[in-house]
Amino acid sequence: MSALAGLRVIDAATLFAGPTAATMLADFGADVIKIEHPTKGDPVRGHGYSKDGQSLWWANIGRNKSTLALNLGSAEGAQVFLNLIEQSDVLIENFRPGTLERWGIGPEQLHERNPKLIIARVTGFGQFGPYAHRAGFGTLAESMSGFATMTGEADGPPTLPPFALADGISALAISQAIMFALFAQKNPDSEGFGKGQVIDLAIIEPILAILGPHATVYDQLGVIPQRTGNRSVNNSPRNTYLTKDNKWLAVSTSAQSIAERVMILVGHPEVINEPWFAEGSTRAQHAELLDQYVGDWIAQRDAHDVVAQFEKAEAAVAPIYNIADVMNDPQFQALETIISIDDLVLGPVKMQNVLYRMDQTPGEVQWSGRSIGADTRTILTTRLGMSDEAVDSLLAKGVIGTSENK
Please give the positions annotated as active site: 167
φ, ψ of residue 240 in degrees (nearest 5)? -110, 140
Give the pairing type, strands 65-70 and 400-401: antiparallel
Helix, strand, coil tally for the chain in percent (to 5)? 40, 15, 45
Residue-by-residue DSSP string for 139-178:
HHHHHHTSTGGGSS-TTS-----SS-HHHHHHHHHHHHHH
Give the largest CA-CA distance in the chain. Answer: 84
> Residue 143: what residue type?
S
Non-local CB neighbours of 392 within 8 Å, separated by 6+ positions = none
Tell me if residue 239 falls in helix, strand or coil. strand
Decide: 36 and 67 in contact? Cβ < 8 Å. yes
Neighbouring-strand partners of residue 361:
none
Tell me if residue 241 falls in helix, strand or coil. strand
**CA–CA distance, 387 with 210 (Å, rounded to integer):** 50
Decide: 290 and 271 in contact? Cβ < 8 Å. yes
CB atoms within 10 A of CB 375: 20
Tell me if residue 341 falls in helix, strand or coil. strand
**CA–CA distance, 87 with 34 (Å, rounded to integer):** 15
Residue-by-residue DSSP string for 189-213:
TSTTTT--EEEEEETHHHHHHTS-S
Decide: 243 and 303 in contact? Cβ < 8 Å. yes
**CA–CA distance, 372 with 208 (Å, rounded to integer):** 35
Neighbouring-strand partners of residue 31:
8
